[in-house]
């Protein structure tokens, strides 16, 4: 018995699920945001200088225009340097495994940005004031470095902190959006099951089976009605995204397959091989039903003669492995129609949302007209109460 799936295309492309969901601002939008933030900072600092200057440093008191000009030039130069600072902050953000190296690179970048800001600022005021050339310029640079170098260095790290905060907020928003997306997917899956996805064809086939049964075998007709009611009750019972014990999923699968045995008398053999430790595992609700429906659709739904459907499960450490195997029960029963993987594809998409990067699903023909679906997912004990399926027996 093979229960070891190989990586699926969906699993190999799981990284694509984690592309940002939050819209990324355009370059123009980012430029406007940076300019707006630094304009606000310039106004705030200018107001501080104007109101507090006379009391703290009377000899350095500035008029409102002088304070605004000084703060505006400082903020404008920082605004020009901000895009490069943001790129450096994101590239060298300290993280586990590279904390010291990234912190050193970030400190070196911050020192370079601070020195560049100081030189541009000093050069600007030297040109505007027609002073500070030659030796005086160097002296001004050294004096400004001693007086304001630490503040500029701190400004660079403030820019880095803002960048990290924005990135973390976007990651949080992406998580929230993905949770909403998952809920919508699962609600859709639940409604699809209710309409019978168990698709309408299954419901109509079952109802069409009832009329002759009512006349020929009333007891079998009553069992069929009970089983159909259990399937509908199961679809209504679970909340989207909920998990149930595997034994509950097996009971629902048996109920579904029992209905199909009634509809296809003498053409279906069903076997279940699930040890108790696997039956206690937690799995997403309505996991097995679409796979069993696919087994019927790809087997007796396309092939004459008898078919076998086998459900197997086992635990492998912290992994739960499941298999739904459909095959011809008689020689020469191979089907000519192509294998329909849509049933497995819907389950794969759901698993990618529930267990990103921690699951696998492979669906493939067996070469004899049958097919096998093998999947694995994290193994955890079930905590949800078990729903009684009366018609499973």
CATH number, domain of 297, equals: 3.30.565.10
Q: By C-alpha distance, which of 387, 350, 355, 13 is closest to 197? A: 350
Has residue 349 been placed in a domain?
yes
Q: By C-alpha distance, which of 87, 154, 163 is closest to 114? A: 154
Has residue 188 been placed in a domain?
no
Has residue 24 been placed in a domain?
yes
pLDDT for 265:
84
Has residue 72 been placed in a domain?
yes
Same domain, 65 and 163: yes
∠ Cα 63 54 69 (to 5°): 30
Alpha-carbon gap, residue 344 to 297, rounded angstroms? 12
Range of the domain at 88: 14-180
Has residue 214 been placed in a domain?
yes
Q: By C-alpha distance, which of 220, 295, 223 is closest to 253? A: 295
Same domain, 31 and 111: yes
| Phi, psi (deg, nearest 5) at residue 366 | -95, 5
Same domain, 146 and 224: no
Sign of CA dihedral 123, 125, 127, 129: negative
Going from the C-alpha of 133 to that of each of 114, 148, 185, 386, the distances in angstroms are: 21, 20, 68, 85
Same domain, 271 and 367: yes
Run of H or E residues at 63: none
Give the domain-ending residue among 127, 151, 180.
Answer: 180
Same domain, 200 and 333: yes
Q: Under 8 Å CB-to-CB from 135, ≥6 apart: which residues?
A: none
Alpha-carbon gap, residue 242 to 248, rounded angstroms? 13
Same domain, 257 and 154: no
Q: Is the pTM here over 0.85, yes or no?
A: no
Same domain, 161 and 209: no
Has residue 265 been placed in a domain?
yes
Alpha-carbon gap, residue 173 to 193, rounded angstroms? 30
Strands 268-273 and 360-365, by their bridges, are unpaired
Has residue 5 been placed in a domain?
no
Q: Under 8 Å CB-to-CB from 126, ≥6 apart: which residues?
A: 132, 133, 137, 140
Running DSSP on this structure, what letter comes out for residue 369? S
Give the domain-ending residue among 121, 145, 180.
Answer: 180
Token duo for residue 333: 């029963």
Strands 307-316 and 319-328, by their bridges, are antiparallel
pLDDT for 352:
83
CA dihedral 11, 12, 15, 21 (to 10 degrees): -60
Give the domain-ending residue among 142, 157, 180.
Answer: 180
Same domain, 225 and 279: yes
Has residue 187 been placed in a domain?
no
In the numeric block, the tokens 């707006």 are attached to 36
Structural domain tally of the chain?
A: 2
Same domain, 199 and 273: yes
pLDDT in tens, the chain (393 residues): 444 444 443 333 333 333 444 555 667 777 788 888 888 877 877 777 777 665 655 555 667 777 788 788 888 888 888 889 889 888 888 888 888 888 999 899 988 988 888 888 888 877 776 444 445 767 777 777 777 778 888 888 888 888 898 888 888 888 888 888 877 777 666 555 544 444 555 667 777 777 777 888 888 888 888 887 777 776 666 554 578 899 988 988 888 888 888 888 888 899 999 999 999 999 988 888 888 888 888 888 777 788 899 999 999 989 999 999 998 877 655 555 566 777 788 888 888 878 888 999 998 887 667 888 999 999 988 764 444 444 444
Same domain, 302 and 373: yes
Alpha-carbon gap, residue 257 to 373, rounded angstroms? 17
Q: How far is CA 361 from the centre of its chain?
A: 17
Same domain, 204 and 172: no
- As beta bridge partners, residue 271 has 310
pLDDT for 337:
56
pLDDT for 151:
84
Same domain, 356 and 251: yes
């Amino acid at each position: 018995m093979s229960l070891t799936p190989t990586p699926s295309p969906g699993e190999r492309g799981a990284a694509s699920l984690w592309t940002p969901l939050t819209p990324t601002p355009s370059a123009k939008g980012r430029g406007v945001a940076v300019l707006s933030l630094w304009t606000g900072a310039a106004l705030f600092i200018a107001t501080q200088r104007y109101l507090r200057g006379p009391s703290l440093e009377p000899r350095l008191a500035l008029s409102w225009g002088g304070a605004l000009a000084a703060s505006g030039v400082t903020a404008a130069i920082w605004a020009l340097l901000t895009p490069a600072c943001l790129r450096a902050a994101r590239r060298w953000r300290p993280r586990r495994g590279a904390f010291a190296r990234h912190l050193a690179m970030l400190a070196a970048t911050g020192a370079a940005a601070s020195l560049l800001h100081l030189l541009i600022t000093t050069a600007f005021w030297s040109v505007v004031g027609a002073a500070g050339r030659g030796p005086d310029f160097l002296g001004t640079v050294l004096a400004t470095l001693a007086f304001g170098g630490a503040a500029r260095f701190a400004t660079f790290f403030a820019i880095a902190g803002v960048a990290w905060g924005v990135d973390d907020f976007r990651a949080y928003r992406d998580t929230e959006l993905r949770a909403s997306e998952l809920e919508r997917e699962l609600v859709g899956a639940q409604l699809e099951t209710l309409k019978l996805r168990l698709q309408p064809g299954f419901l109509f086939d079952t109802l069409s089976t009832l009329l002759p049964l009512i006349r020929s075998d009333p007891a079998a007709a009553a069992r069929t009605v009970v089983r159909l009611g259990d399937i509908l009750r199961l679809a209504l019972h679970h909340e989207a995204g909920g998990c149930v014990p595997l034994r509950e999923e097996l009971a629902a699968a048996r109920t579904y397959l029992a209905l199909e045995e009634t509809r296809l008398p003498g053409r279906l053999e069903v076997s279940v091989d699930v040890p108790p430790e696997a039956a206690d595992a937690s799995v997403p609700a309505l996991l097995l039903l679409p796979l069993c429906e696919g087994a019927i659709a790809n087997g007796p739904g396309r092939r004459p003669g008898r078919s076998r459907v086998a459900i197997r499960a086992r635990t492998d450490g912290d992994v739960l492995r499941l298999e739904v195997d459909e095959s011809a029960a008689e020689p020469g029963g191979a089907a000519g129609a192509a294998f329909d993987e849509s049933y497995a594809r819907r389950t794969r998409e759901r698993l990618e949302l529930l267990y990103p990067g921690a699951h696998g699903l492979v669906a493939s023909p067996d070469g004899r007209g049958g097919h096998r679906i093998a999947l694995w997912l994290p193994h955890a004990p079930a905590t949800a109460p078990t729903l009684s399926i009366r018609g499973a027996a």
